[in-house]
Amino acid sequence: MKLNLSIKTYLQQAAFSVLFWGICLSFFAIFRYLGINRVPDIEVSVGIRSLVIANLTAMTLIGIMLGTVYANIDFFLDEYVSKNFSLGGGLILKIVINFVVTVLLLRLSQLVAQANGMELNFEEGWLWWLKDERFISILLYIVFCSFVFSLLKIAVERFGQGVFIKILMGKYRKPKEEERIFMFLDLKDSTAIAEKLGHLKYSQFIQDCFHDLNMVLFKHEAEIYQYVGDEAVLTWPYAKGVSNNNCIKLFFEFQQQRQSRKEYYLHNYGVYPEFKAGLHGGALMVAEVGFIKKELAYHGDVINTSARIQAQCNNYNVTLLLSEKLINDINTEGFSTSKSIGSVLLKGKEKEVKIHAITA
């Protein structure tokens, strides 16, 4: 499961990287050559149309090549290195590695071109890039684009896949009604665990738990709405949440992911984390809020009901509770077992809500 998720994450990152760098280097060719024949004191020895097309094609191919290589570098650093660096330190490390790789790739391209009889008029030797103003100009452009790419990646990670584009397009400037499913996922016995581990160890413990949660998010198309202490709030568009039982399968695969690392938790913390969850779905409002710090906010009874359902887990000694409205839209046959708890008067509600317990 972890391997499949890693492959999926890699392919998503690679596709975005290739598209981004292909477009960026295409723009560089356009900026550099389009209209050059109209600049005073510059003579163009070949047809300007042929020059632009040739350089546009070459730069696009170089962008695709660099995008593929950069995607591999980013994926490796994100998986194995970046956790040991600050955000700024990781960004600088990526730029340095990208710089070295860019020099090597362009030098290799130069050698291949010369071996095939192409005259590129570059300086000879491995330090050619220190003397070539053309390379310096494209290097500065690549460094700038690297910052833009990193900022876009941070924004996507902050808001979630798909949400950033919607915010960019202003979809939620005015409140919109959506059908969504919410899951409130909470660590059991968190107070006792925090007292046992202490602040530092407990924070590392929570980091590990949510890292395991992130390992199963993409597979089940979930979005993180909020992290609140030792609690995570997840959400799905209603159709995605009920499709293939995503909203409940995620919970059980999160259990399996933690179970696969049980020895790690016991060795490092002396505690194995158990989580409880409450699920409910329906119509609510979503809007972009804030000025200094923007984020999406959801308003409606669905969120409150989901939180109250999760709070009932301890009362009935179960780990997963769903509203009857939601369970009617999920096909649990052959996958899990549901048991009706009955009608429960949730805190803050005037009417009772029918809830069900789910076990794998």
Q: How far apart are CA 37 and CA 318, in angstroms?
A: 74
Residue at 302: amino acid letter? V
In the chain, the number of structural domains is: 2
Same domain, 171 and 311: yes
Q: How far apart are CA 83 and CA 94, in angstroms?
A: 13
Instruction: Identify the CATH number of the domain in which residue 336 sits.
Output: 3.30.70.1230
Element of type H or E holding 312: none
Residue at 359: amino acid letter? T
The two three-digit tokens of residue 274, written as one number: 């158990």
Residue at 306: amino acid letter? S
Same domain, 133 and 253: no
Same domain, 7 and 129: yes
The answer to whether the Cα torsion of 133, 138, 142, 145 is positive or negative is positive
Same domain, 221 and 72: no
pLDDT per residue rounded down to tens, the chain (360 residues): 444 556 767 787 788 888 998 888 888 877 776 655 554 554 555 555 565 677 778 778 888 888 888 888 888 877 776 666 666 677 777 778 877 887 777 777 666 666 655 555 555 555 666 666 777 777 788 888 888 887 787 777 776 666 777 777 777 788 889 999 999 999 999 999 999 999 899 999 999 999 899 888 888 888 888 898 889 999 999 999 998 889 999 999 999 999 999 999 999 999 999 999 999 999 999 888 877 777 788 898 899 889 999 988 988 889 999 998 888 888 777 666 778 887 777 777 767 888 888 887
Same domain, 351 and 290: yes
Same domain, 6 and 124: yes
Last residue of a domain, one of 114, 144, 159: 159
Residue 166 phi, psi dihedral angles, 5° rounding: -65, -40
Q: How far apart are CA 337 and CA 292, in angstroms?
A: 46
Last residue of a domain, one of 96, 126, 159: 159
pLDDT at 3: 46
pLDDT at 262: 94
Quote the DSSP letter at residue 332. -
Q: Which of 277, 251, 90, 68 is nearest to 187 (CA)?
A: 277
Residue pair 182/303 in contact (Cβ under 8 Å)? The answer is yes
Same domain, 258 and 299: yes
Same domain, 220 and 343: yes
**Domain of residue 198, residue span:** 163-359
Same domain, 136 and 192: no
Q: Does the reported pTM lie above 0.95?
A: no
Q: How far apart are CA 308 and CA 46, in angstroms?
A: 73
For the stretch 36-66, what's the b/e string if a residue is b when 16 or more beta carbons lie within 10 angstroms of its beta carbon? eeeeeeeeeeeeeeebbeebbeebbebbbbb
Last residue of a domain, one of 159, 183, 213: 159
